[in-house]
C-alpha cells in the first residue's frame, strides 16, 4: 500500500502527515485551522458534537483543552472515548480520528494555560461551562471578580486542563476530480500494534 500513497498522503507515520497537513492549513485557512468537531457520548446516550481547538499533535496523540466540568468532559470520563473531524475547505481535505481519551494534566497543562492571553485565563475561571446562566451580566460580573482576585497572572484552575486522544483509527481524505476522492484509513487494534493502511472507496 505504501507505494500507492504518494504526494500529500506519503509517509509511514500518520501523526507526521497530520502535522504536515495542519502546517499547510495554517497558511491557507482564514480562521482557526486547528478547529475540530469533537463527538462524545455517554454510554447509552445520544452523541454530542461541538467545536474544539486541537492545540498540539504529539508523537502518538492529539491534544485539546476544556473545563473538566463540561458536558464533553463528563461524557469522555463516562465512555473513555471520543472522535473528531477537521475539515479544511481551502485545501479540500479532512482528517477523521477515533480512539480513547485520557486527561492531559500537570505541567503540560500549566504551560499551555500560562501561554494564553489574560482574557482567556479569566474566561476559563469565570465560566461554569455547560451550566445554566441567568444573564450575560452575571458572567461579566464574575469575570471582573476573578480579575480583581488574581490580577494579571491567574493560575490554571484545577477544574480546567487538557485531554489527549490516542487514536486507534485515523482517516485522511482529499478531494478528487469528478468526486473520485482519495481516502486512506489507518487502523490498529491496540497501541502496540503496527498501523494497517487501507484505501477506501470515496
The CA radius of gyration of the chain, in Å to the nearest whole number, is: 19
- What is the sign, positive or negative, of the torsion defined by CA atoms of 127, 133, 135, 138? negative
Whether the Cβ atoms of residue 119 and residue 198 lie closer than 8 Å to each other: no
* Packing angle, helices 118-126 and 136-150, rounded to 10: 120
* Residue in this structure with the C-alpha cell 482529499, named with its chain if needed: 174
CA 166 to chain centre: 11
User: Is-contact 65 109, C-beta < 8 A?
Assistant: yes
In whole angstroms, give the CA distance from residue 71 to residue 68. 8
What positions carry a catalytic annotation? 179
Amino acid at each position: 500500500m505504501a507505494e500507492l500513497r504518494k504526494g500529500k498522503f506519503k509517509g509511514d507515520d500518520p501523526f507526521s502527515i497530520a502535522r504536515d497537513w495542519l502546517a499547510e492549513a495554517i497558511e491557507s485557512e482564514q480562521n482557526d485551522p486547528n478547529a475540530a468537531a469533537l463527538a462524545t457520548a455517554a454510554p447509552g446516550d445520544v452523541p454530542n458534537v461541538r467545536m474544539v481547538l486541537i492545540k498540539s499533535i504529539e508523537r502518538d496523540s492529539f491534544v485539546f483543552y476544556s473545563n473538566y466540568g463540561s458536558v464533553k468532559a463528563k461524557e469522555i470520563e463516562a465512555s473513555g472515548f471520543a472522535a473528531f473531524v477537521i475539515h479544511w475547505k481551502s485545501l479540500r481535505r479532512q482528517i477523521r480520528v477515533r480512539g480513547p481519551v485520557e486527561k492531559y494534566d500537570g505541567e503540560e497543562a500549566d504551560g499551555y494555560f500560562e501561554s494564553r492571553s489574560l482574557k482567556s485565563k479569566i474566561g476559563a475561571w469565570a465560566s461554569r461551562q455547560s451550566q445554566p446562566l441567568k444573564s450575560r451580566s452575571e458572567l461579566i460580573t464574575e469575570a471582573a471578580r476573578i480579575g480583581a482576585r488574581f490580577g494579571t497572572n491567574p493560575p490554571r484552575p484545577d477544574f480546567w486542563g487538557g485531554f489527549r486522544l490516542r487514536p486507534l483509527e485515523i482517516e485522511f481524505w482529499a478531494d478528487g476530480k469528478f468526486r473520485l476522492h482519495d481516502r486512506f484509513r489507518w487502523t490498529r487494534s491496540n497501541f502496540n500494534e503496527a498501523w494497517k493502511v487501507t484505501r477506501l472507496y470515496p
